[in-house]
Amino acid sequence: MSGLKQELGFAQGVGLLSTSLLGTGVFAVPALGAIVAGETSLWAWPALIVLVFPVAIVFALLGRHFPSAGGVAHFVEMAFGPRLARVTGWLFLSVIPVGLPAALHIASGFTQALFGWHGWQLLMAEMATLGLVWWLGLRGASSSANLQTLVAILIVALLAAIWVYGDISLKAIPFPALPDVEISPLFAALSVMFWCFVGLEAFAHMASEFRHPERDFPRALIVGLLLAGIVYWACTVLVLHFHAYGAANTAAASLPTIVVQLFGVQALWVASVVGFLACFASLNIYIQSFARLVWSQAQHKPESYLARLSPGLVPRNALSVVIGSCMVSTLASYWLNINLDALIIYANGIFIMIYLLCMLAGCKLLSGRYRVLSVMGVALCLLLLAMVGWKSLYAVIMLAALWVLLPKRKA
């Protein structure tokens, strides 16, 4: 038993995971995939789901059998002991200074489209976004889940409206015949698209807050993964149908461009609001996950400030510390004028390393065909680290540094 309030159901879990996977990617990645692979990108999404499925199954099984606010760090502790678990937890938290400012900046870009804000005005929008995440987190996991389920519904409704008003039929979808699919563009699209399925590790921290984690967590994870894959595929169809990609369009503007083309410029605010909410949903689940991880790591000292829960069984103190860290990182990136695009790549290396540690834990904790899936997940993670190239060294160096520098806990 975790101590956190167990209030999440299956539908809320689907909403949490699907929106964490969609995030900013639903606006940009289909266009990026179309740029590198054209119509072949329609095959890339099903191929990617098949590749990611073993990883998702391992996450689902570990979350089912070992539900904990510690997420991957807890799985690693069960498999390899508390020291590597602490290193894993701190490795996940190291995403805050390199990943959160970039994600906030992307979200604030939609407020720029709505209100024409620049400079310090966007910074204030980012601070207000963090304040909203803090307020929502104080209300418990169910409030976040309800909001993110609503966001998922809005995204699906927007795509459905474009499909209907764009008069798109299944027969008109330019699916290349399998023999005509070129392998090189397909792999190029897969390397771009994989980042859409980073989010499973954040969702794992919510497993202990399901009313029936052994039943609903794995179901919500798999259904949420499939829903996100279908939404991305549907977006790719739209991008190809309306030719909303290429040098003349920025990738993030592909879906808003289609909305304006169909409904007029007055409808641009709809796409901007949905885009901001999608970014906010992804930010929200990550920050709430960070808070739960901090609270979980503090349990070795139950009397400590970070180990306390609010009367509503919410890790309020841990959440406040995480929000404060996010604000400091965002202010620093603004004042130092840091290249946020580079930060995202370094954060991706961290995520792959966390996935790798989870798959290694699966190799130890699972048996039979599920252990085989864990081995497949390990192979996929190693391949992805190789694809990131030398920038994955950031994750390797962070892992080694944390192992050496983290002080040993007294028994």
Report the distance separating Cα 408 and Cα 370, nearest Å. Answer: 33
Q: Average the pLDDT over 227-246 and give the result.
A: 88
Q: Which of 44-48, 202-206, 247-251 has the highest mean pLDDT?
A: 44-48
Q: Which CATH number does 10-405 carry?
A: 1.20.1740.10
* Residue with more model confidence, 210 or 111: 210
Q: Average the pLDDT over 377-402 and give the result.
A: 85
**CA dist 296 to 72, 141, 173, 292, 325, Å?**
11, 16, 48, 6, 17
Confidence of residue 342 (pLDDT cuts 50, 70, 90): low
> What's residue 33's pLDDT?
86
> What's residue 75's pLDDT?
93
Q: Average the pLDDT over 170-181 and give the result.
A: 81
Residue 119: pLDDT over 80: no
Domain ranges of the chain: 10-405
Question: Do residues 222 and 60 touch, judged by C-beta distance below 8 A?
Answer: yes
Region of poorest pLDDT, from 241-250, 306-315, 378-387: 241-250
HSE on the CB side for 317, CA within 13 Å?
12
Report the distance separating Cα 294 and Cα 4, nearest Å. Answer: 13
Region of poorest pLDDT, from 246-260, 302-316, 359-373: 246-260
End-to-end CA distance of the chain: 22
Q: Average the pLDDT over 184-198 and give the result.
A: 81
Q: Average the pLDDT over 112-121 and give the result.
A: 72
Confidence of residue 1 (pLDDT cuts 50, 70, 90): very low
**CA dist 34 to 142, 162, 189, 199, 307, Å?**
36, 18, 8, 23, 47
> What's residue 314's pLDDT?
85
Residue 160: pLDDT over 70: yes
